[in-house]
Amino acid sequence: MSDKISEVLQNQRHQAVFPIVGVDHCSWLLKYDFAEVVHDGEKIARVLEYGYRLYDYDMVLVFLDPYVEAEAMGCELEFKPYPRIKAQSKGSGCTNRTKEIIKAARILKHNVQVPVFVSIKGPFSLASFLAGTEDFLKILLTGEREVLKYLEKALEFQISYLNRLLKLDVHIFIGDPMASASVISPNLFRKFAFEPLGLLIKNINRAGLIAGLHICGETLPLIPILDELKADILSIEDIKPKAKTLKMGGVSTTTILSGSVEKIKNEVKDALKEDRLILATSCDVPAETNPDNLKTMIKTARGLSV
């Protein structure tokens, strides 16, 4: 078992590498049908293990799509051409893929030699999916009680889901894209997103596992607040600003999708000027990303010739 992530966290190593590769890219590599894979724990594990063996990165992340929990709580999804919420309420019955994720995480724990993380949604983003994102953003300013109701529901679900995951001894990455400062003000973050995130992070830390937090887009005005959350890893788009929490990122998703070899190498080298870093893409890599670009990123980080 190689755990470079923990070594970086414990200051025993400067860097580890993980381009944020999820099920969609790995399914695409294997020409598997994404919609089919995300409903089958064994297939989820198989494609993620394939990606890990192909690229040889330092952790594996069980990430399907952002709507797993929203679907389990009653939203209706469609998967083609891309996963999205079709309706806020399905009417009858819920599709619960969390058990498939648990199955996949269990298989991966056994099969791979690096730490396994499972991605869950931050309660703020989950609440926004349940309410409908535009409506949710409006009621942040006009209907505090309603917001709190959605948040309470989202948090209750996530605590129970998290407890099931922690029993597997897997690490957790919380993604909270709607809590980005590209969307809401630091004041609204503090008011609505902070406390539920803090609760989840405390639970993860209490279990002795690693808590990562991913926020997309603008994060600069949020960094002091994010530091207060005491996550172990902070995955953000712009890693230049100083943070107390170990940062993860450094290579733009656009660069990994369509940049030249030189551009990828330069971004990696720039990012590695940080004292300690989990070198990663700024967000999850698009499905159709050229594998050579990911290999360039990883090889450059490892100091190998490309």
Q: By C-beta, is 156 or 270 nearer to other proteins?
A: 270
**What minimum distance in Å lies between the beta carbon of 285 and other proteins?**
7
- Burial (Cβ within 10 Å: 0-12, 13-18, ≥19) of residue 265: middle
Q: By C-beta, is 160 or 254 nearer to other proteins?
A: 254
Q: By C-beta, is 83 or 115 nearer to other proteins?
A: 83
Q: By C-beta, is 115 or 175 nearer to other proteins?
A: 175
For position 257 contacting other proteins by CB under 8 A, the verdict is yes
Q: By C-beta, is 179 or 279 nearer to other proteins?
A: 179
**What minimum distance in Å lies between the beta carbon of 149 and other proteins?**
17
Q: Which stretch binds other proteins (CB under 8 A): 45-53, 154-162, 270-278, 284-292?
A: 284-292
**Near other proteins in 56-85, by CB under 8 A:** 81-82, 84-85
Among 2, 11, 89, 254, interactor with other proteins by CB under 8 A: 254
**What minimum distance in Å lies between the beta carbon of 192 and other proteins?**
11
For position 258 contacting other proteins by CB under 8 A, the verdict is yes
For position 137 contacting other proteins by CB under 8 A, the verdict is yes
> Is residue 237 within 8 Å of 20, Cβ to Cβ?
no
Q: Which stretch binds other proteins (CB under 8 A): 88-96, 153-161, 269-277, 285-293?
A: 285-293
For position 181 contacting other proteins by CB under 8 A, the verdict is yes
Binding-residue total with other proteins (CB under 8 A)? 34
For position 290 contacting other proteins by CB under 8 A, the verdict is no
Q: By C-beta, is 143 or 198 nearer to other proteins?
A: 143
The string of DSSP letters for the chain reads ---HHHHHHTTS-SEEE-----HHHHHHHTT--HHHHTT-HHHHHHHHHHHHHHH--S-EEE---TTHHHHHTT-EEE-SSS-EEEES--SS-----HHHHHHHHHHHHHH-SS-EEEEEE-HHHHHHHHH-HHHHHHHHHH-HHHHHHHHHHHHHHHHHHHHHHHTTT-EEEEE-GGGSTTTS-HHHIIIIIHHHHHHHHHHHHHTT--EEEEE-S--GGGHHHHHHTT-SEEEES---S--SSEEEEEE-HHHHHH--HHHHHHHHHHHTTSSSEEEEESSPPPTT--HHHHHHHHHHHTT---
Among 88, 95, 96, 133, interactor with other proteins by CB under 8 A: 133
For position 217 contacting other proteins by CB under 8 A, the verdict is yes
> Residue 77 forms beta bridges with which residues?
85
Positions touching other proteins (CB under 8 A) are 24, 81-82, 84-85, 133-134, 137-138, 140-142, 181-185, 188, 216-217, 221, 252-255, 257-259, 283-288
